[in-house]
Structure 1
Amino acid sequence: MNESWMDHGKCVGLSPDIFFPSDGTGVEVARRICRQCLVQEACLAYALCHRIRHGVWGGRSERQRRRMLRRAAA
């Protein structure tokens, strides 16, 4: 998988702590940033493909990605 999209994310230069929050409010902050990102779909696909368990990727929380993977497996 080509990862050059990572250089174009809205998250570049931001603290990783934003995307690895410890509460629901933090998740919303990260999701708000992701909504404005041009590479959101590639980011989500990367997280799903690599089964990344933690953080907000492509505007989706850990829980949302787990649900997506379960549905895809069914």
Structure 2
Amino acid sequence: MAQGSCANTDPEVFFPHDGIGVAVAKLVCESCTVAAPCLEYALMNRVEHGVWGGCSERQRRRILKARRAAARNDELVAVAA
């Protein structure tokens, strides 16, 4: 993400060891013009570590879980139709 706000930021910022570090990384992502594709990249590639697109590891796991549930629901609706 060469156009990202992170391009001129120390990469270590995005791999924090505590909640304060996560908040700092998210601040960088807040104004980023490529946060959405960055997040999607991390989700599609199952990136497990760091802050990507303004989301922590835990947030990305929740997003993926919600997407899987929605996909299962869509499948059930299609079968029932």
**TM-score, scaled to structure 1:** 0.91
Q: Deviations over 1:31-62 (max 9, x none)?
A: 00100100000000000000000000000000
Query: C-alpha separation between the residues in 1 aligned to 2:33 and 2:10?
Result: 19
Match of 1:18 among 13, 37, 58: 13
Q: Which has the higher contact order (CA 8 A, sep 6+)?
A: 1
SS of equivalent to 1:58 = coil
Match of 1:32 among 27, 32, 53: 27
1:65 Cα shift? 0.1
Q: Which amino acid aligns with 1:59?
A: G
Could you list the structure 1 runs, at least 4 aligned residues long, displaced by more than 6 angstroms after superposition. none
Q: Identify the residue that residue 69 of structure 1 maps to in structure 2.
A: 64
1:70 Cα shift? 0.5
What do you get for the CA RMSD once the two structures are aligned? 0.5
Q: Which consecutive unaligned segments of at least 5 residues does structure 2 have?
A: 70-81
**TM-score, scaled to structure 2:** 0.83
User: What count of residue pairs does the alignment treat as equivalent?
Assistant: 69
1:59 matches 2:79: no
Query: C-alpha separation between the residues in 1 aligned to 2:48 and 2:25?
Result: 16
